[in-house]
Structure 1
């Protein structure tokens, strides 16, 4: 497989890297995440000016018509500096559902402002007591005249308190449909809070809240949600790759400069071996994430293959994130867990990514149920 990027993709990566490094190359992230909405609105607008927020959307909908590879490049640079902007949550996940399911009028009304940086979308899907399913149960939708109303609770909703528009999954007649709820809708209550990695989430309650059905007809949207979650999973894997790269680089530099018994720590073979193992984990997850990205972009990939690739990327990301995060802290010693030093923050973000759309154990269990779908081979003797 060819994992090299073309000239335009490299230019995109360098432009995004430059912007995010200026925004978060120092201690700015700590200042930005301390106050709501938890990200820099100016940086969000600058990403929009560069066309980043419209990357995966069709040009007819106000986007750039790019593919999953370009999304992956942006996500990697976000992870490299722990930029708190809700790119995956708003563009890949919520925006991706609008692009896949919405009518032409809905796409124009929702994706255009998102691509321009004038609007933030959030996907309200997770429910208290649920465990990474593609279906809805706790929030129900009822027909009300020519429209719909929603009742129930969604939590956690990433960036749900800041979002201008919510894309909500709800149970209808034994299936799952998608709805659009405006941020100022009647009967909508949002309680935002800070997460352990410095991000933002919210408890969102619906009490007869007016909603617009996303898309035409009465089709069950479970499969569409599954595909959107798979794409977000792969994008999160690339964000994790960026975070792991920085954690490893920071750790390697620390081993070169920190001295004990009169010599730098990288002179101790056991510590060097541990850093080498971190590198192996990083490259394994990088290659798996790139492969999954190419599966998504392949014209002949089936929905089942996309989900399978995302589960494989999730499993590898989970294992590598735990390994690299823990080793980065261990090899730094006590300073690794202080709020003033960054490796602990990278580990916190890697932990959050591991639980947003399904952790490693969950992915492994799903993959195990599909083992019999593959051909068997004779063991070597």
Structure 2
């Protein structure tokens, strides 16, 4: 496997890192991510101006990439900076619009913010449990149901909604103005929404949408794995620096061999997570995409939780305070495991795949 990053992706990563360091420093993020709209419109426009959203679109469609490694490049920097910008729903919406052969110009320019409404209170991750119904009267579609934890839905211009018809799952375009959108902030920062649909007018985008929805979900899961890698790298660096500088009994606590062993174990786990994420990124256009993504999400979720817990333990009580960045990174790392399927869910996916 080739672990080398292309020059274009390296340039994108460097540019994005510099931009986020200025647009989302820790002290600003601690306020910005927890107050409506839970992100910065100016930073969002800046990301679009850098071409970040174009990295999710193939060159043939006017974008700059569209491959798994392009997703990984962007989201590692998102995780390193702990940016609350709704880039994840934009990625998933891009995959769905491409499948629908829809217009992606507004998405790439950042002028149109989209959110993807798939999960429900009784169907957070599994498509087979979706209960939202679509009904057709003459040439008009309406949707009835409830979508839960719609990331970016609190500030979206359009909603892409998965609903069940008599033929299976389909994808619809819904205006937030026609739906009941209840926005709120997440415990780890960023915004989401509950979406209430009651005979809500909708436009059909994809009639048989299960494959497209699975593709969008798997790209979102890869993005979360990459985001976790960026966050874990930063937390590891913060923890190592703390062990080198924190003095106890006249010497750095990093001289303690037990803490050295724990840091080496963390570094090993993070590198394992990196390897499985790279493998998944390399297989996004192949037939075993779903298995590779499930493997990555399962392992990364477990490692991310371990890194969060160990960083807090080795920092001591200070890492639990609002003012310390580790507390915010730890919350995000733990919550990444619960987005788009936790470790148990993806372990079940792997077991089912092996049985098949």
Further displaced range: 235-244 or 6-15: 6-15
- Alignment partner, residue 206 of structure 1: 197
CA-atom RMSD, angstroms? 1.4
Deviations 1:145-178 (A, max 9, x none): 2120111111011111211000000011151111
Contact 2:21 2:81 in 1 (8 A): yes
Q: How does 1:8-157 map to 2 (within 5 A)?
A: 8-59=8-59, 61-90=61-90, 92-100=91-99, 102-103=100-101, 107-108=102-103, 111-135=104-128, 137-157=130-150
Distance 2:60 2:291 in 1: 30
Q: Within 5 A, what are the aligned runs for 1:310-325?
A: 310-325=293-308
Give the CA deviation at 1:7: 1.3
For residue 34 of structure 1, give the secondary structure of its aligned residue in structure 2. Answer: coil
Deviation at 1:225, TM superposition (A): 1.2
Q: Is the 8 A contact 1:94 1:123 kept in 2?
A: yes
**Corresponding residue for residue 242 of structure 1:** 230
Quick one: structure 1 residues 151 and 66, their matched pair in 2 at CA, closer, same or farther if it must change by over 3 Å? Answer: closer
Q: Stretches of 4+ moved more than 2 A in 1? A: 58-66, 134-138, 369-373
What secondary structure sits across from 1:119 in the alignment? coil
Q: Structure 1 residue 228: deviation in Å?
A: 1.4
Q: Measure the CA separation in 2 of the matches of 1:356 and 1:2.
A: 29
Residue of structure 2 in register with 1:270 after alignment: 258
Residue of structure 1 in register with 2:151 after alignment:
158
Which blocks of at least 5 consecutive residues in structure 1 are unaligned?
A: 374-381
Alignment partners' CA distance in 2, 1:65 and 1:193: 33
- Secondary structure of the residue aligned to 2:284 is helix
For these two proteins, the number of residue pairs brought into alignment is 356
Task: Report the secondary structure of 1:13's partner residue.
Answer: helix
Aligned: 1:309 with 2:292: yes
* SS at 2:127 equivalent: coil
Contact 2:295/2:346 (CA < 8 Å) preserved in 1? yes
Question: How far does the alpha carbon of each residue in 1:45-80 deviate from its partner, in whole angstroms, 9 at most, with x for none?
Answer: 111111111212244644324422112111000000
* Distance of 2:8 and 2:318 partners within structure 1: 40
Shift of 1:134: 2.2
Aligned residue for 1:258?
246
Partner deviation per Cα, 1:269-295 (whole Å, 9 max, x = no partner): 001111111111110101110110001
Query: Structure 2: any 5+ residue segments left out of the alignment?
Result: none
CA 1:143 to 1:372, structure 2 compared with 1: closer, same or farther past 3 Å?
closer
Among 178, 192, 203, the alignment partner of 2:183 is 192
Q: Deviations over 1:66-112 (max 9, x none)?
A: 4221121110000001001111222x212211112x13xxx22xx21
CA distance in 2, matches of 1:306, 1:120: 27
Q: Secondary structure at the match of 2:317?
A: helix
Residues 136 and 170, structure 1, Cα contact 8 Å, conserved in 2: no
Residues 60 and 209 (structure 1), Cα distance of their counterparts in 2 relative to 1, 3 Å cut:
farther
